[in-house]
């Protein structure tokens, strides 16, 4: 092959490689920016609802991150709906407790309703442990949010005297233990950042 033709092919190859690299970088940047927008777009709503209910907005956001990755259209394998993956039964509990007469299952697709119901449920779970320090309550509440209060009661080797660390170790469902650890890790990250 003549040298001139080989140089032209090399230049074309280098140009195509450069385009591929720039395309990959651009795609990565687009995915990152989309994720940042998706994660931040509910911050104001989370803050408003957390303020109204006395919940920790960082904890609410950490639950949303784990439950739906900020996808308001997430639908769980057991019928959990929306950002906080609220079940219809939990939605009815919330509606009854807050005297919402306009509630129906489809209302859980609305991000505001979903966050209100999920935050109410989470706050109720935290309130079951008044004898513990606020930080100690979190693993118990998260396990209840994920697996139900009945399971939490089964995982108390020393009854209500069980510490948070003992409780996490006694969780017999690996997926629930992973859930609790993951949400707590994200909660600590949001706390360290100091902003939603």
Helices 174-193 and 134-147, packing angle to 10 deg: 130
Tokens of 185: 């890790």
Catalytic residues: 67
Q: Apex CA 55: angle with CA 80 and CA 153, to 5°?
A: 60
Q: How far is CA 78 from the centre of its chain?
A: 17
Contacts 24+ apart (CB under 8 A), 147-156: 147/173, 147/176, 149/125, 151/176
């Amino acid at each position: 092959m003549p040298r001139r033709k080989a140089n032209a092919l090399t230049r074309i190859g280098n140009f195509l490689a450069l385009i591929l690299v720039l395309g990959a970088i651009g795609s990565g940047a687009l995915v990152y920016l989309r994720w940042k927008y998706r994660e931040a777009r509910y911050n104001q709503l989370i803050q408003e609802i957390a303020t109204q209910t006395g919940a920790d907005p960082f904890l609410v956001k950490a639950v949303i991150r784990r439950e739906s990755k900020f996808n308001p259209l997430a639908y769980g394998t057991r019928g959990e709906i929306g950002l906080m993956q609220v079940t219809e039964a939990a939605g009815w509990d919330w509606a009854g407790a807050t005297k919402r007469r306009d509630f129906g299952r489809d209302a859980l697709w609305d991000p505001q309703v979903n966050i209100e119901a999920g935050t109410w449920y989470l706050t109720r779970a935290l309130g079951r442990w008044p004898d513990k320090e606020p930080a100690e309550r979190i693993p118990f509440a998260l396990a209840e949010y994920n697996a139900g209060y009945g399971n939490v009661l089964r995982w108390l080797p020393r009854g209500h005297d069980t510490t948070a660390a003992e409780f996490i170790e006694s969780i017999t469902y690996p997926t629930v233990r992973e859930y609790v650890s993951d949400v707590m890790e994200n909660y600590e990250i949001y706390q360290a950042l100091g902003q939603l």
